[in-house]
Structure 1
Amino acid sequence: MGNTVVFNQTKQVEQLLSRIVEQITRYLNETTIEQMQEECAGDRHYYEGVLADLRRLAVYGEEGIDACRIVLQEEPFRKAAAEQALYKIYHSCVAEFFTPKRDLWYEDSRSAYTGRHSIKLRQPAPPSLQQLLHAIEADFQTMREELEFYETDYRTKMIQSQ
């Protein structure tokens, strides 16, 4: 891939992550577990876990934004550094969103074919949480489509360099 393509992908990912982190942060700053309980009575431990996973996504997203900005500001543009950053973002952000560590939500791959949201919560949850996940899902899906290439390409390069 040429430098221009990688540069543009890095710029796009930085913008998508910025939008995602902003939405997650707003939700985390404005929502308490008590508010979630009022909106939809549910398992407190489940809500705590979901909020913890969202915090993890926000932190990983901020780290990814920082990595993109550093790479984009360097002169000359270092394609290898950008590819490494995009590979890490794919694993720490995109993969974490679609298959979270605690498995409190999951991706229903069949929903992708029907045009519906593919992220499903394992337990009943407040509509505000569902709206947040649906709002950020599209940006994560765009990033996944853009960055899946790095999953195989970067690993291949690392193996060949050893």
Structure 2
Amino acid sequence: MGNTMVKSQLELVEQKLLISKESLNAFLNNTTITSLQHEQKEDLETYKLLLSSLRRLAVFCEEGLDACHVITHTEPFRKAAAEKTLYRIYHQCIEEFFNPKHDLWFEDSRSAYTGRNSIKYRFVPPTSISKLMVSLESDFQLMREELQFYETDYITKMKQSQ
């Protein structure tokens, strides 16, 4: 891939990660387990794991955003570093969004055909969680479509260079 293509992908991902990080942090800074339980009665452990998963995602987004910022503001543009960063963002941020560590939600693969949101929960989520995830989903979906190439291409390049 050419430098301009990689740079434009990096800039797009940087914009989307900034929006996602701000949304996640705003939610996490204003939400408690008690407030979630007022919205929807659920087991305390479920809410602890839910907030933990969202904090983990927020950290990955912030780390990815920082890496994008450094690379996009460094001259000359370092294509190899950008590709490595995009690979890492794909595997940390995007995979964490669609397949979280604690397995409290999952992606319904049939949603692409129905036009509905793809995130399904293993419990009845509070409305605030549903709204947050819906607001984030389109950006993560767009980033995934842009970066799926890095899922296999970066590993292939690394193996060929050895």
Work out whether the TM-score is over 0.5: yes
Residue 127 of structure 1 is matched in structure 2 by 127
Residue 4 of structure 2 is matched in structure 1 by 4
1:71 and 2:32 matched = no
Distance 1:69 1:144 in 2: 19
Can you list the C-alpha shifts for 1:71-92, whole angstroms capped at 9, x where unaligned?
A: 0011100111100000000001
1:24 and 2:21 matched = no
Q: How does 1:1-162 map to 2 (within 5 A)?
A: 1-162=1-162
What runs of 5+ residues in structure 2 fail to find an aligned partner? Answer: none
Can you list the C-alpha shifts for 1:44-87, whole angstroms capped at 9, x where unaligned?
A: 11111010000000001000000000100111001111000000
Query: What SS does the corresponding residue of 1:109 show, helix, strand or coil?
Result: coil
CA positional deviation for 1:111: 1.3
The aligned amino acid for 2:145 is E
Q: Percent identity?
A: 58
The aligned amino acid for 2:101 is K
Distance 1:131 1:5 in 2: 33
Query: What SS does the corresponding residue of 1:75 show, helix, strand or coil?
Result: coil
Query: What SS does the corresponding residue of 2:50 show, helix, strand or coil?
Result: helix
Distance 2:129 2:2 in 1: 39
Distance 2:27 2:76 in 1: 38
The aligned amino acid for 1:86 is L
CA positional deviation for 1:134: 0.9
Query: Any runs of at least 4 consecutive aligned residues in structure 1 with deviations exceeding 2 A, and if so which?
Result: none
Count of equivalent residues: 162
Distance 1:116 1:56 in 2: 25
CA positional deviation for 1:41: 0.9
Distance 1:20 1:121 in 2: 20
Can you list the C-alpha shifts for 1:116-146, whole angstroms capped at 9, x where unaligned?
A: 0000111011011011011101100000000
